[in-house]
Amino acid sequence: MVTAIENFRTWYVAPLRSLFPDRKAGFPILLIVFPLLERFLRQRVGLRGHDTLTDAFFDALVQHFGELKNPQIARTFWTIYRHGLLHEVTLSRLRRSGGALPDAWLSHDMPLFTVDAKGDYWLNPVPFATRIIETIEADFSVFETGSQVTGQFPRVISVPTSFCTATGNTPEEFIVTGTNAAPNDG
């Protein structure tokens, strides 16, 4: 039986690593890793999916990414990169309140994260993604475990032969992932 961490490595880590050499793949890399990081940190501090992010969340973010230096920078970073990419498919330029955010960039030629002399934010997507993968793998039970905070990590199930036959597939061709009960074998 395949374990949850093996699925994590197959579904997320292997595709990410295939993107790392492509210097134009920064946005896709971040689009994959930010939800992984958010799930891990929400689990770590006990926030449900609809809960507003708390000081504890940003403290945990700084704990894992010391380059962010403090929770204020971490909040701005999260707004620019995570909210921007996952809500707008670009980097955010404005806060929800309408206030301007620092200019921000992706570069494979910078350290993991830095704020330059002008106050611009720079993020290198490959070491950032690598750190997220290492963080999750080092404490996978936090990431995997379903709770009242987040749903259980998806799993692969065996599909009854009769269900496969009814769909015109053989069991070897039929893959189901999810967190719900197995399809009805009736």
User: Which pLDDT belongs to residue 182?
Assistant: 44
Nearest to 16 by CA among 2, 30, 3: 30
101 CB neighbour count, 10 Å cutoff: 17
pLDDT confidence band for 162 (50 / 70 / 90): low
Say yes or no: 127 and 165 in one domain: no
The answer to whether residues 123 and 47 belong to one domain is yes
96 and 166 belong to one structural domain: no
Which residue range is the domain that position 183 belongs to? 154-186
- Average pLDDT rounded to a whole number, residues 20-45: 96
Which helix (H) or strand (E) segment is 115 a member of? strand 113-115
Token pair recorded at residue 24: 């134009």
Average pLDDT on 121-142 reads 97
Tens digit of pLDDT for each residue in 58-99?
999 999 999 999 999 999 999 999 999 999 999 999 998 999
Q: How many domains does the chain have?
A: 2
Domain check: are 122 and 138 in the same one?
Answer: yes
